[in-house]
Amino acid sequence: MTSGASTTPVLTGDVQIIRSVDEGFCPPLRTTADPRFKGMIFAVMGPPASGKGTQCKRLAVKYDFVHLSTGDVFRDLAKRGTELGLRAKEFMDKGCFVPDEMVLSLVKDRLGQADVKERGCLLDGFPRTADQAEALLKEVKVEGVILLRAPDKTLVLRATDRRIDPATGDIFHLKYLPPPKDIEARLVCRDRDDEHSFKQRLEVFHGQCRRVLPMFSGSVWQMDATLEPDAVFKNMAGLLDKIMEAKMAKNSSGNGGAMPAASPSCSICFDEPANFLVIPCGHQCGCEECLTAVQKHSGRCPICRASVTAIQRVFRCGRDSGENGEATLSKQVPAKTHPDIQDKLDTKVSGQAGDGWSDDETDDVQSTLEDAKLVIVPCDDIGDAGGEVNVVVSAEIFDKATRSPVDICCVVDVSGSMSAEAKYEDEQGNLKSDGLTVLDIVKHAVKAVLYALKEADRLSLVAFNEKASTVLELTQMTEEGQKKAIAALEAMIPGGQTNIWAGVLAAMDSLRSGAQGPDFSARQQAVLLLTDGQPNVVPPRGHLAELRDYRDSHPGFSFQLNTFGFGYNLDSDLLLQLASEGNGTYAFIPDAVIVGTVFVNSVANVLSTLSQSATLNLMLRNGAEFTGPVLGGFPSLEESWGRAVSLGALQYGQSRELVVPLRLPPNTSGQLKPYLEAVLTYPKAGRNSSAAAEGTARTSSSDAKLGAARADAVTVGYAAIAAAADGKGKSAQEAVAALCSRLAEAVSATGDASGEAAVDGRLTALQADVAGRMSKALNGKERFNRWGKHYLRALMRSHQLQVCTNFMDTGLQLYGGSLFRTLRGEGDQIFLSLPPPVPHSKMGRETARSRSPSPKMTTYYAGAGGGCFGPSSTVCVVSRSLRQLQGTGPLVEALLGLAGSRLPVSEVRAGDVLRVADGIARVRCVARIHRDPAQLLVTLPEGLTITRQHPVRIDGVWMRPCNVPGRCYVPTASGMVYNFVLDRCHVLVVDGVECATWGHGLQGNVIGHPFFGTDRVVHGLSSLEGWEDGRVTITGSIRDDNDEVVALLGPSTPTLETMSHKSRSLSKFSPLLRVAASPILF
């Protein structure tokens, strides 16, 4: 290596062997100090796993340096129980930095001791922050910094297979330096060496370097740490020898020797020379490309955060030039920097935290302002007095109109159980089958996936039973590619056992092998795994261990794993764990009727993904303290600088909230000081991006209260699942009941002064989920074990990630941006318009005459109840005076030629003449139906607001509003919806859409109903108060055990107990009747 020259590693992708200090080239122990280095101080910096500690030990042996590592010193002091050690331990146990004043006090004291003045010192990993560097330079002379460099990918590979012997401190590598057999059992992983936390450590280190290195401008020497440890040591020793030779020559001749050139490097990319300075602060800290990006986006100096008005090229000549024509600059006097906010992560210019090697990969500086922003607000007003409070950190992700190409691998279970008939319940509660198998329905759903992809997208298919087979390699979804995919699908035949890991492994290999090359490496990649059972072929170390090992072995491979559990014989705990580890969702499909719904939502979420693995970094400020773990079930790592929380995938147009319990100090200054700094980091299109914010607000908001309620629900939900699975079902029920009470109080607290119902439907929608099926899932051990545990895991995961995964759960309907809704609408149409599959039970066995009709795929695309109009929906009132007018004829045609007047349905009266599908009809009765505000309504593009299953006719086809493309969901703010009984036609035009009214008498898969579609509803209305006046209010219904409505209830019902008694008297005729105080669900 040429002294002073920047090294350029040749990267082969091989793991560099980590050897112990005693192996290879190691000089004999020096018994006396090297007089050349008397009192000299060098700082050695390098990322984790770069070999910094090992090299410092070897250099200390060769030159008899004092080796000073502050981390090791504090840990040793804490272990020995010294006062300073115990004080430092308090901070380290909380995941906080040891305060600078304590670190500086320790270092200052140590550097002043006689052995350092006699032998010199190597500072291992110090200074860490710009403040520490500034304080150090005021106290002592630092000869320079030796910086070890290596690509992040190499470092991650080194770290994941490292093991440490707690008895001796020796480090081994499982593959390249295996430990002796007799100590294998006691080896442990090093703290924070798993991939996720290790990458966070790397990001923190790179952020620190950007602040610290410019303090030593002109005295930073870079070393290639990808070489063998012996070669790195020789290079470092050669550098130190050359530095001393130059100093000795200067002292003897007075002319100065040729010092190794140490051209200052850009503090952002570390690759290019720092040949530009920023104006007006004057820090020479970057290259032209990086500082131009800084000026354009953040506008702040990377060193002191002063505003940048211009950048200026610096030219050096004459005796300032080094051997290679590079400037050898004197140290700059650093401007005063801000606190630790500048020493963590660069929040505006990103992408430089990783591999800064020009021949490894290019890291472009890019702005993230168009993608995300952070907002930090307390859940309750806290005031200047301070105290304990939950604080919401919201990552608000901006929406997008178009999407980028993706790669998807569908992993299909073809074990023998997939040949079972796919059964479903019809609207009368009867169990039915179209002769389709579970595999038939799954194939149809996969076809919807492949037709939702564009030509630039790619799809692969894996089929698995006891073994896995990639039946379609990654293929572009051109017309020809779609034909190949369909052929591969149709060739799948059920049989054999269930080996989930084999399917997942084949899927990951398929995506990874296809991600090579610049055209594909930055794509979002997703695995969709669908199985109907529990694996009976299991890896010896378990599924999660294998998945983590795979990711550790391929650190550059990023993907999302979404799991789908079909039926009741599931290991839903495993499916949830796999989805969580894979930053994806888990969906529970109890029967065939919701296969299409779940798949369409899932694919829309994948296609609208901004990033597959976001991390939120939390750092305390100005005396604030963490008082507990983050809420909401997110995995969190305690770091010396704070906390790193894994958020999973982020979708365009959908925020993600995290709740952090804090203790805020009193605010005595009269000015709002930050108490929390948050930095969101996320990979996007092959680059690292970020956004940041500081929390100063002490007043709450409705969004913060909602975020707190959601986190509470998810935290309680996961705990309830664990408790019930452990046989503590009663305590789980009590916890959810208490949650229901808290949500009810939160909803009540949002009401206005008059005490009217809350208008914020988001809380009431969440309340509906908790008080509804979430509570029901825990109502009994048998129910919990059959479906409750599977359903709760899926519901909690969806709320945790704030994604919509079905049309049934009220609270989920509020999630998703416009891109998601557009993609979901397209998926709806695709699933419903595909030719239906041919039932296997009928293939080749029935004649054309006897064959049953093809199944209608709307059967397998369930919506979520309802059957009335929102109060603001409008109808055309042709006349309010022509009582006896018939529905057709010349006069009718003349009236239809007039515009008429549009009125909200809430203002329609009996006797009004309204426009219907074939002319006009008169209103016989207006039905006002009480409806829980938590129940959502669908708003169609035409403006119609309607309950989700009320039949509408579009382009001559009856469908449910929840299946109409372009729909969105809104709360029932008024708590009231409407329907009508007409004298004819019974197809009313509401906001331009043809809608069925009660008692219509029509039959069909969507339109038919045994109560609301027949005269039974008219008889029910006629028995209620208000029928004679043409205006009936409905508060509930009587249902049988099949949940079928048999009668309606009005406000004159004395009490629920009385009606219960009445229902008991009715039981003489129908013993299965029960009272339902809930709103009508049609």
Give the span between the Cα atoms of 594 and 860, in whole angstroms.
5
Q: What is the spatial distance between Cα 569 and Cα 786, in angstroms, rounded to a whole number?
A: 8
Give the CA diameter of the chain. Answer: 121
Please give the C-alpha separations between residue 464 and each of 485, 500, 530, in angstroms, as whole numbers.
Answer: 16, 7, 10
Q: How far does CA 40 lie from the centroid of its chain?
A: 49
**What is the distance between the alpha carbons of residues 832 and 958, in angstroms, rounded to a whole number?**
12
Which of 36, 110, 190, 331 is an active site residue?
A: 190
Q: Look at the alpha carbons of 170, 175, 177, 183 in this order and tell me if their dihedral is positive or negative.
A: positive
Q: Looking at this protein, which amino acid is placed at residue 380?
A: D
Decide: 124 and 69 in contact? Cβ < 8 Å.
yes
Q: From the candidates 58, 62, 199, 201, which is the catalytic residue?
A: 201
Is 201 marked active-site? yes
Angle at alpha carbon of residue 265, lines to 308 and 214, rounded to 5°: 60
- Calpha distance 1019→1007 (Å, rounded): 20
Percent of the chain as helix, strand, coil, to the nearest 5: 35, 25, 45
Please state the separation of Cα 728 from the chain's center in Å.
Answer: 30
CA distance 944 to 120: 80
Residue 635 near residue 599, CB atoms below 8 Å: no
**Strands 66-68 vs 121-124: parallel, antiparallel or unpaired:** parallel
Query: Residue 801: which of 601, 637, 583 has the closest Cα?
Result: 583
Residue entry with tokens 């020789």:
234
Of the candidates 19, 162, 684, 797, the residue annotated as catalytic is 162
Q: Sign of the CA dihedral 690, 696, 702, 707? A: positive
**Given 19, 52, 163, 967, the catalytic residue:** 52
Closest of 18, 16, 13, 15 to residue 164, by C-alpha: 18
| The residue to which tokens 């203002």 are assigned | 907
SS3 614: strand
User: Which of 262, 227, 266, 269 lies closest to 355, judged by CA?
Assistant: 269
Q: How far apart are CA 271 and CA 220, in angstroms?
A: 13
Active site residue 190: yes
128 assigned to active site: yes
- Helices and strands of the chain, counted as H and E runs: 26, 44
Tokens read off for 359:
């021949």
CA distances from 252 to 35, 241, 246, 447 (A): 15, 16, 10, 82
Question: 144-149 and 121-124 as β-strands: parallel, antiparallel, unpaired?
Answer: unpaired
Residue appearing with tokens 């998810």: 714
At 925, list the tokens: 């009765």
Select from 808, 854, 806 the least CA-distant residue to 834: 854
Calpha distance 851→842 (Å, rounded): 7
Phi, psi at 363, each rounded to 5°: -105, 105
Q: Decide: helix, strand or coil at residue 117.
A: helix
- Contact in structure between 592 and 795 (CB atoms under 8 Å): no
Strands (E), 621-675: 625-626, 636-639, 642-651, 656-664
DSSP letters of 414-426?
Answer: -SGGGGSEEEEE-
Q: Which of 19, 128, 443, 953 is catalytic?
A: 128
d(CA 178, CA 176): 6
- Before 837, cis peptide (omega within 30)? no
| Helix or strand (DSSP H, E) at 579 | helix 572-581
**Which ranges in 297-382 belong to alpha helices (H)?**
none
| 710 among known catalytic residues | no
Q: What is the DSSP letter of 595?
A: H
Q: Which residues are catalytic?
A: 52, 128, 162, 190, 201
